[in-house]
Amino acid sequence: MSGARWWNPNASDGASNMLESSAKRSARLRELIANHIVVLPGAFNALSARLIEREGHEAIYLSGAVLANSVGGVPDVGLMTLSELRDHATHIANVTSLPIIADADTGFGGPENAARTVRVLESAGVSGMHLEDQEFPKRCGHLEGKRLVPAEEMCAKVAAAAAAKTSEDFLLIARTDARGVVGYDEAVRRAEMYIAAGADGIFPEALHTRAELERFARDVDTILLANMTEFGKTEYLTADEFASLGYDLVIFPVTLQRVAMKATEAALRTLKEEGTQKAILEQMQTRDELYDLLGYQMETPGANHPDPGRRP
């Protein structure tokens, strides 16, 4: 029976001091933004986060929709808690060295809750987060029927969150959903208010066209995050195109989850119809590829260790 060397968690890039790790990652994120647009694929679990880093991406996004869908198995309607987000973020920070921006929804309550959210996510190793100005329970930013809180209420949350930051580099982004509720001009007005309240950047959700995105970048002079989600209201643009319009960050929040779920659906149909997975073996990540991604190495035969590879 072949043996195995158990995986050594110290071989990962995750730092043992997560607060220090968060500060270092936040500083790295600021450096990246200063040089070029940063692309953030959305991780749906820690394994996918490892792959994001392996494939040469520079940062990771944690989507609230993905947290709800992949972790909770529920719609993105404000059902998940800060504790669940913290655990999700911690798993990912422990196995990657990349900066992480997390979707903190509406901050899980009022200003005091928003402040606590900053501290909790910093302690988990997160580099930045965004708060949104929707009423709770919130809705996906690209759906109809959203409702906004008063701008002054959102400013109070932003100010409390900004004051709670342990690292000055921690990136506090204010998201406004005003474009889809009351129009473009209100989105700009709110963005300026949120910057004055202490936001480091703005996430204008569900802008429609290239021209509108470019106009917003002219009207609001700050760090800007663009959401290049699929099947939404925003025109499909490349990262380079977003950069040319004046954006600093672009998230692809649900792309990996959507691809993975479509492939899983196809595999399940194959199993049901054919009773075997043989026809789709070439579409799979192999055992060796998985172990390589995990940093898990097999030893020579005869080693006195159990072989996890023999488990189902």
8 Å CB contact between 202 and 239: no
pLDDT digits (tens, 9 = 90+) for 226-245: 999 999 889 999 999 999 99
Token pair belonging to 237: 């643009």
Q: How far apart are CA 85 and CA 105, in angstroms?
A: 10
pLDDT digits (tens, 9 = 90+) for 141-161: 565 667 899 999 999 999 999
Q: Cα 271 to chain center, whole Å? A: 32
The yes/no answer on whether domain 9-260 falls in CATH 1.20.120.610 is no
230 an active-site residue? no
17 an active-site residue? no
Q: How far apart are CA 106 and CA 113, in angstroms?
A: 9
194 an active-site residue? no
Burial class (CB in 10 A: 0-12, 13-18, 19+), 213: buried
274 an active-site residue? no
Active-site residue, from 30, 50, 57, 76: 76
Say yes or no to pLDDT of 253 above 90: yes
Active-site residue, from 53, 57, 94, 103: 103
Active-site residue, from 88, 175, 179, 258: 175
Active-site residue, from 25, 30, 105, 142: 105
Query: Using CA atoms in the order 122, 124, 130, 134, what is the torsion angle rounded to 10 degrees?
Result: -120
Ramachandran region of residue 211, left (φ > 0), alpha (ψ -120 to 50) or beta?
Answer: alpha
- How large is the average pLDDT for residues 19-25? 80
61 an active-site residue? yes
- How large is the average pLDDT for residues 24-36? 97
Say yes or no to pLDDT of 248 above 90: yes
241 an active-site residue? no
Q: How far apart are CA 99 and CA 89, in angstroms?
A: 11
